[in-house]
Chains A and B, each alone.
Chain A
Amino acid sequence: MILDLLIKDFKEEGSESTLSKRVIKMIVDTIIYGLFIALETYIFISLDRKFETFSSNSSYGFLVLLLLLILVLSIFGSLPLARKALYKTKDKLLLASRPVLKDEIIISKYLYVYLNTVKNIFIFSVPLFIGFGATRGMMVPYYVFSLFYPFLIGFFGTGITFILLVPYQKGHEFLKSHYILQIIASGILVTGICLLYNYVLDLFLNLVMNTQLDQMFNQGFISFIDSLSRNAHPISSLLNIFILSDNILSSLCIFAGITIVSIVLAFVILNLTYSLYLDNETKKSIKYHKQYKVDKPLMALIKKEFILIFRNTNFLFSYIALIIMQPIFATTVISSLNSLLYVNLGMFLTYFPELINGLNLTLILLFISVIASQTMELIKNEGTGFINMKTMPISYSKQCIIKIAIPSTVSVFSLLVTLICLISLNQITLTVFFIGLIIGMIFTISLNISGLYGNINILKKANMDTKSSSSSLISLLLPFSLAIIHFVMTFIRIPSWSIYLIEISLCLILFLYLIIPFKKRIIKGFLDIGGSLI
């Protein structure tokens, strides 16, 4: 039964309906993970060499630091997963009427989180172990240990996850009912992510260029690393046993003790919280809303769209976060790429300066496509409110125009901020600024229209869990097509104004292709969709 429950939880994780889409997702995931691991290993080995010049203990401490970081990230990364696994309303309803013991459910939940934790730690820590061992000529037992390390440390990680789950769930519930605090929390998180990305990218580029890395390696930092290697239990104790072979008995006792305590605590907490969850009726707090004033239909629709976007918790950490992060990420990526390309391809860029403009435009459009893709389920987001869309005395096309206009406006605003940041840092030319704005606007609106069409098509087939593939295609195809056109025309020395004109024309053609049958498609689509989306 425990195994069945586990399989159920894993199956619910996947969301692609067809085999081909699952395969594509797996391939893309593999590529991304592979690239990330390669990057991580490269940074590790390069920094490891640096640490090695100070002392071999420092380089060992550096390994411990990275393993600790991976453990912490996996713990926090598992929190949403654990919350979702434990506090699933669907699960509660499904299992309540089945002969499943509470203990079996708890064990399966624990194992589910444990296996995910092990998976995450395995992917990121094993390459580090291999890199560390390969540069030091470690023997086979070391590599065997490195394969078992995630399983051993996973118990501790899972235990901490469940310990932290209680305050996390409390915090989640609290934020859910306090929208302003949600925004502040997401803002802080988003800013933190941007700063971290900036820092890591800077560090990496310095490594590669090898100019300013020495400033990092001062004595204070090295001392910190050294003390960490001794005190970061249970990682230190585990590594003491299998790598340093130092104080084996005491390290074993420490590790075993910590692990057992964390397992016991995890089960106790799981038991308590799951019991509380089962027993307590979730009383929905009935908030007495203030009296809304009656608005004109247009204004009411606009307000509704804003509420759907900005008061949607799901959107907060995806769409809204990206809107905020886009200027920072786009500026960081484009400015670092520009620097890299000028260093590596200076000659080309001097004789073909339009190349860098083409690349910058492509990247800007790709960022737009990422953001716009977050709002491609405009109809689905209505939920039960869709019946109102069908029945209210406002034309479907008018409703859809407003539905597209709001996210488009927000996205274009973010694009404008991005372009202003880029031009103020001299990363793009004035021409690229204006062309980027024009093409970006057309592209954003086109993507939202295409997303709307896709959404309608999917809903017509009552297939709720599929994502629109045509809009995904456009979101990638157009930027790359424009890039190819730009690069080819630059090489054959077409004047730049001609290139931009062609690009704008292509975007307009796409837009016209989508907008001309708009009314017809919307009306037909709405009529074909059922009354409820649940």
Chain B
Amino acid sequence: MKNKTLYILLLIPFVIAILGFVNIVILENTIAVDIISINWDYRENEGFKIRNEGYLLEATPVIDDEFTLSEGNDLVWSIRNQDSSSRVYAEVKQEEDDYYLYALNEGDIIVTCSNEKGTVSKSFNAKIYEDGAIIINPRNFAPTNSMISSSRKYGLYNLVDHDPNNKVKASLELDIQVYPEDNLQEVEVISLSDNISYSNATIDFVSGGEATISLAASSNKFIQTTYSFDIVDNGVNVYDYNDLLACTNYSSEGEIVCLQINLESLNNTYQKDDNGNYIDSYLNEDTRLFGNYDFSTKSFNFKNEVYYFETTYNHEYIEQYFEDDYLAYSQVISAIHVQKDFYGNGFTINIHELAYPKNGTIDSYSGKLKPNKELDMFQGPLTFVSLGLFEEPFVKAYGQDNINMYVEGDNITIDDIKLRNTNNLDNLFNLEYTGSVIDFYGSNNTLKNSLISNGRTGVRVFSSNNFTMDNCLVSTCREFLFKIGNNEYQKIDPDKVGTVTYQGESMSFDADTFLNSTEGYNADLLFTGIFDGSVNVTQSLLDDVQYFLDSEVSEDIYTNATIKDCYFYQSGIFSIAFDTYFAGLYLYNGYPTFVRELLSTLMDDAVLPDDISGTQIPVHLTIEGDTRFYDYKDVDSIDASCLIEERLGELLGSFGDGSKISLENYFPIVSLLKSQASQNGLVYNDEGTSYVNSAIAFYGGGLNLSTVDYSSITTEAISDSLNVDVAYACLTGQGLVPSSNQYAKHLAKCIPIAMGLHDFKFYLNDDTFYLFNETPDLNDLIIRGQ
């Protein structure tokens, strides 16, 4: 037996590993993967002489080999006039697999190459000429062919050695090409705006404003061109990651940023050697790395470069739990801290190397890619409130998440930027820990002409009065594409008087007595009775109870926001969400008693919440213009597990009869939504799958006074609201997805006690199912932005 024992001991780790591995069910929410970008040799401006023969248009798609492309990713070409005339200057014709540009009449056009779906696009300006033309391109700035706004913005200043205290005025070197080329000709300046000077094909910036230079060929003054651009007063040109840091995280008041380069991930920046290691050689001249990468140690220095700040979201529970040491647990990480205007010029900032859990592993319980605690920086949202040990809670509701771009301040404009937190991926669950893409905090801020994608939440707007999002595409996020709310809230009024009617008897209390008392009839007694089944739950009883937990909020302090001409595409849950704080009895005083008893058996010195919540200050959101929701999804794929993290199922699921408990067994929000949507004819059935267009969601639990006005939308068709009473379903057991585990029903009753009793509210598509199976076309945004 002796050696057999040794062999068995040595085999044990293998067996445990196999058992652990085979029990893992990796969660997948597969999404369409498109090409990353388009490569070509065209500059911002090109010239084409009128001729009979067509010009072959050439471009190659940049593909991520790891994924299978979805349909609709073949490259197609199109043109449109720069002016609004209907004259035909050129045509694009497809001959077999090639596209040809036929120059027909003199004029200026925009040539666009995109995938068939229209989700990835690149353009250049083309001058169609007969006798000659002057084509001007910037030489010392990377070309941008993906702008949505009309003109490129250059900052007045450059930094010297990445030092924000050492600025010099910038200059623009021109690559001037005169056609026909065999007539090498000099050019002369015809006119020049006051804010620039010119010599030897270089424009020196003098001051901000629109800059214009008109040039003519020396030998033929009829060959002329005008080159216009904007110089941003006090703007600083950013050419790499360290320039960006200097203007943002390292600057106490921030600089106005004019981005002149893509800042991308390793995979999209550097070439690789035969062994697959990255080498210091760029893939493209218009792209640099987001981060400082040490090739020898294969590591970054983000810890010392990111911006840390104390969360602005409600973190009272954290303060109560940790007391003087709470700061360490209420820190949010932001890759970029913006305090002034930011002009993206169509360039991309991709923080994949910071945000994506590269060192993560699949969590055996949740089946999701979870970051490594030591090696990955983004660890998911902070805690709003939790039950159990802070580090390993049974249940946790989320607070503020880590961020790509944190915009803090007033009157800030973010224009024409492509922000993403990760590279392309095909499983939305892998975005669970990647943070918010852009987060606004301040008044009168604007986000326009931008593409926001690949995060847990796309655009987060909290405590931001008069916020405007205009002509943007927000797509591919794990949770919500756009989340809005306020950090501020009105606490429970302890003197508020209300009535509770039970079994025909009406009793009057003030809030403090009803919620805190342990004698006579009180909330603790009531919820304990609900839990053990001795109290009959009715909607009116729940309404009576919730009245004490709600607060009144004056309309004077509502905040306002506007979404105009925006597209929403491919969310994990819903496109737009109106946040509100959970505000159940547990958050007020840690009652009912059975929860306290449960905690004391599992923990020593359990910390209970003490009046940490209330009614969130509402938001009034206006949705107008050509705003569209391309957010159809299989309703069964909606996974609410990113709203609440629960591991109760892990702890208790092995008791009872041993079967696993899932979120739907005790928080059946998705199944209730599906049921309601079906009853109202709002579910689109296609080949056995039920689809809904998940447009707008209002958090429930706590009182949510926010409102939405979508009456000015020109094309979208949105249903009336659907109210989903999760609390009633949980407390009565009706509507729960059945589980053979006896603890599931008990867990279900605990949820409303913490969350609150108000309904969740949803807006879906109407029964015309407008935009089903369609994808947003970037060209729409480009045309609007021009």
Chain A contact residues, CB within 8 Å of chain B: 28-29, 32, 35-36, 38-39, 42, 197, 201, 204-205, 208-211, 214, 218-220, 322, 329, 332-333, 336-337, 340-341, 343-344, 346-348, 350-351, 363, 366-367, 369-370, 373-374, 376, 467, 472, 475-476, 493
Contact = CB atoms under 8 A, between A and B. Distances in A.
Contacts of A211: 359, 361
Interface of B: 1-18, 20-21, 23, 274-276, 359, 361-362, 364-365, 388-389, 391-392, 601-603, 647, 650-651
A351 B392 contact: yes
B618 to A, nearest CB: 37
Contacts of A376: 2
Given A28-B4, A333-B12, A373-B1, A208 B276 contact: no
8 contacts: A197-B10, A208-B17, A208-B20, A218-B276, A346-B392, A351-B388, A363-B9, A476-B5
Contact of B16 (A220, A341, A347): A341
Top 5 A-B residue pairs of the complex, sorted by shortest distance between their CB atoms:
A373-B2, A350-B392, A344-B20, A336-B13, A218-B275
A340 B392 contact: no
B295 to A, nearest CB: 15
A208 B362 CA distance: 10
Contacts of A350: 389, 391-392
Contacts of B361: 209-211, 343
A201 B14 contact: yes
Given A329-B10, A373-B1, A347 B18 contact: no
A498 to B, nearest CB: 15
A344 B364 contact: yes
B13 A340 contact: yes
Contacts of A370: 2-3, 5-6, 9
A219 B18 contact: no
Contact of B5 (A210, A344, A373): A373
A462 to B, nearest CB: 22
A351 B276 contact: no
A28 B275 CA distance: 45
Contacts of A322: 6
Contacts of B389: 350-351
Given A211-B361, A329-B10, A337-B12, A475 B20 contact: no
A32 B365 CA distance: 29
Nearest to A214: B276
A429 B114 CA distance: 60
Nearest to B7: A32
Nearest to A369: B5
Given A214-B276, A219-B275, A337-B12, A347 B5 contact: no
Contacts of A373: 1-2, 5
Main secondary structure of the interface of A (DSSP, over half): helix
Contacts of A343: 20, 361, 364
Contacts of B4: 28-29, 32
B20 A219 contact: no
Given A218-B276, A219-B274, A475-B5, A205 B13 contact: yes
Contacts of A346: 392
B127 to A, nearest CB: 47
Given A32-B7, A218-B276, A343-B361, A348 B651 contact: yes
Contacts of B7: 32
A207 to B, nearest CB: 9
Given A347-B392, A351-B602, A208 B8 contact: no
A476 B15 CA distance: 19
Nearest to A363: B9
Given A208-B18, A218-B276, A347-B392, 11 more contacts: A39-B15, A204-B17, A208-B20, A210-B362, A218-B274, A333-B13, A343-B361, A346-B392, A351-B392, A363-B9, A475-B2
A36 B8 CA distance: 10
Nearest to B15: A35
A373 B7 CA distance: 14
A392 to B, nearest CB: 30
Given A36-B11, A337-B13, A351-B389, A472 B1 contact: yes
A205 B17 contact: yes
Contacts of B10: 197, 329, 333
A66 B424 CA distance: 37
A347 B650 contact: yes
Contacts of A374: 2
A282 to B, nearest CB: 30
A29 B3 CA distance: 11
A32 B8 contact: yes
A348 B652 CA distance: 10
Contacts of B275: 218-220
A218 B273 CA distance: 11
A201 B5 CA distance: 18
Nearest to B360: A211
Nearest to A46: B21
Nearest to A218: B275
Nearest to A493: B601
A366 B13 contact: no
Contacts of A38: 18
Given A347-B365, A350-B391, A204 B602 contact: no
Given A346-B392, A370-B2, A32 B21 contact: no
A337 B15 CA distance: 10
A211 B375 CA distance: 13
A336 B12 CA distance: 10
Nearest to B648: A347
Nearest to A209: B361
Contacts of B362: 210
Nearest to B274: A219
A326 B143 CA distance: 64
A36 B18 CA distance: 12
Contacts of B5: 366, 369-370, 373, 475-476
Contacts of B15: 35, 39
B606 to A, nearest CB: 12
Contacts of B8: 32
Contact of A351 (B21, B365, B651): B651
Nearest to B388: A351
A160 B56 CA distance: 67
B326 to A, nearest CB: 20
Contacts of B23: 344
Contacts of A35: 11, 14-15
Given A36-B11, A351-B602, A373-B5, A340 B651 contact: no
Contacts of B20: 208, 340, 343-344
A306 B703 CA distance: 81
A28 B2 CA distance: 12
Given A337-B16, A367-B9, A347 B1 contact: no
B545 to A, nearest CB: 31
Contacts of A204: 13-14, 17
Contacts of B18: 38-39, 42, 208
Most chain A CB within 10 A, of B3, B14, B274, is at: B14
A36 to B, nearest CB: 7
Nearest to A329: B10
Contacts of A333: 9-10, 12-13
B11 A39 contact: yes
Nearest to B5: A370
Nearest to A36: B11
Contacts of B274: 218-219
B16 A340 contact: yes
B17 A32 contact: no
A16 to B, nearest CB: 11
Contacts of B650: 347
A508 to B, nearest CB: 24
B299 to A, nearest CB: 15
A35 B275 CA distance: 35
Nearest to B19: A344
A216 to B, nearest CB: 11
A30 to B, nearest CB: 11
Given A32-B8, A218-B276, A366-B9, A340 B17 contact: yes
